[in-house]
Amino acid sequence: MATRLRLALLSAAFAASAWLGMAPAAAQDLKFSVPLPLTGVLAFTGQIQQAAWQHAVDYINKNGGIRGRKIDLSLYDDEYKVDLGVAGFKKAAANGDLVFAGGDGTPFIRAISPENNDRYKILMSNTGMASDLVDTAKYPYHFLAAPNYSDMFDMLFRYMKSKQGSGPAPKVAFVYSSTEFGRDPLDNARKRAAALGINVVLEEETKFGGVDIGASAIKLRNAGADYVIFHGYAGGVWPEILRQSRQYGIKSQFMGTAFGADPELVRGVGPAADGFLGVVPYNLIVKDNNAPMIKVIDGYLRSWKGKPYTGYANMSYMQIWVTAMILRDAIGNVIDAKKPLTGENLIAAVRALKASDFGGIYAEPIALARQRIPAGVIYRYNVKADSFSATPEVPFVRAE
């Protein structure tokens, strides 16, 4: 692919000193540095994000760059380890010409933000969706091209209320992992449920793996919840709880938040996931979709040899595209204003962006609020032994 991409892989042994494939960038190029977990337990996700960055930057550069300036993208492997991510960030920032720095999760952003706030002041974004990322005092140079986890609970709660009619208050159960990721939205979720008149009848915390599935399913059966929300898992545990719950005859409407609601993951659960509802930040259906940006993305996914084409975009893949589109527009506006590409000017330009549907990635135009995009889609997954489809139950839902 004829782009100006640079791929620099950081290994654990040479994280602080050895960048691979680094060539001097032209002075006019816009330097981006992004850590990815290209090896290790999250390599699958990192490789999808790598392709997304390569595709999005290739598209921007082939279409004139940003006001005629090409993006010079450096990707490096941090194995999803904070120390490697921080070392790579400092290496990239040392020359003083870094325009944007990515992050592969909330732990990295939390680790680097104090120093970035005081010293580097570089515009950043990341793939995590922690609830506190809307705190602009703690993260003044950070934006999130997605809703956060508390937003996702709010979207699901509002769906429940839309189905209530004149009936009794909805009853909901939370099933979540005993990780920071799993516990992240709980305080906000309890408060929001109470404000909306939704009864939380069970909070079931499990380990991230190695769980007594039967015990959790029994608790769900005894709770008699109308809705069950799974949150805080990378893929394991909740599918087994769901399967066991079906075997016990539990009739609850099962739901999941973003990282447990990717089409490929839900499809892998099998028929037990039939009717599952998942809230995700973006439109993920790319096949036969005539929206202009979705057609572009569909073309890249069809040509990508790293993953079989399914007609659906991976959520993390789409998040990178939205991030790239925000950067394209914000950087372009700062250049137009003849201002330096500082973190202060860039984050101000991000906040000032007008509402957009990002070429069909959203069903309606949406603007950033508190430096994140508080909107998404609720999909219903139709899973049979020999077929799978995702249909928008709610094509556009906005968090309060």
Whether 334 and 347 have beta carbons less than 8 Å apart is answered as: no
- pLDDT per position as a tens digit, 151-201: 999 999 999 999 999 999 999 999 999 999 999 999 999 999 999 999 999
- What is the pLDDT averaged over residues 199-211? 92
How far are the Cα atoms of 9, 177, 209 from residue 219, in angstroms, in the given order? 46, 15, 18
Q: What is the pLDDT of residue 21?
A: 33
Residue 208 pLDDT class (50, 70, 90 cuts): confident
Using CA atoms in the order 140, 256, 265, 82, what is the torsion angle rounded to 10 degrees?
A: 30
pLDDT over 60 (residue 301)? yes
* Residue type for position 367: A
C-alpha 347: how far from its chain's center? 19
Taking the domains of the chain in order of start, what are their residue ranges?
A: 6-147+291-368, 149-280+376-398
Three-class secondary structure of residue 300 per DSSP: helix
Q: What is the pLDDT of residue 53?
A: 98
- pTM of the predicted model, to two decimals? 0.91
d(CA 122, CA 400) in angstroms, rounded, equals 29
The pairing of beta strand 98-101 with beta strand 71-77: unpaired
State whether CATH 1.10.490.10 applies to domain 149-280+376-398.
no
Which architecture, in CATH terms, is 6-147+291-368?
3-Layer(aba) Sandwich (3.40)
Record the tokens describing residue 189, joined without a space. Answer: 């979720």
C-alpha 303: how far from its chain's center? 23
Closest of 97, 234, 128 to residue 112, by C-alpha = 128
d(CA 145, CA 310) in angstroms, rounded, equals 24
Helices 315-336 + 343-352 axis angle, to 10: 110
Using CA atoms in the order 108, 114, 115, 119, what is the torsion angle rounded to 10 degrees?
A: 140
- Residues across the chain: 400
- pLDDT per position as a tens digit, 235-264: 789 999 999 999 999 999 999 999 899 999
Whether 83 and 41 have beta carbons less than 8 Å apart is answered as: no
6-147+291-368 and 149-280+376-398, same CATH topology: yes
- pLDDT per position as a tens digit, 55-100: 999 999 999 999 999 999 999 999 999 999 999 999 999 989 999 9
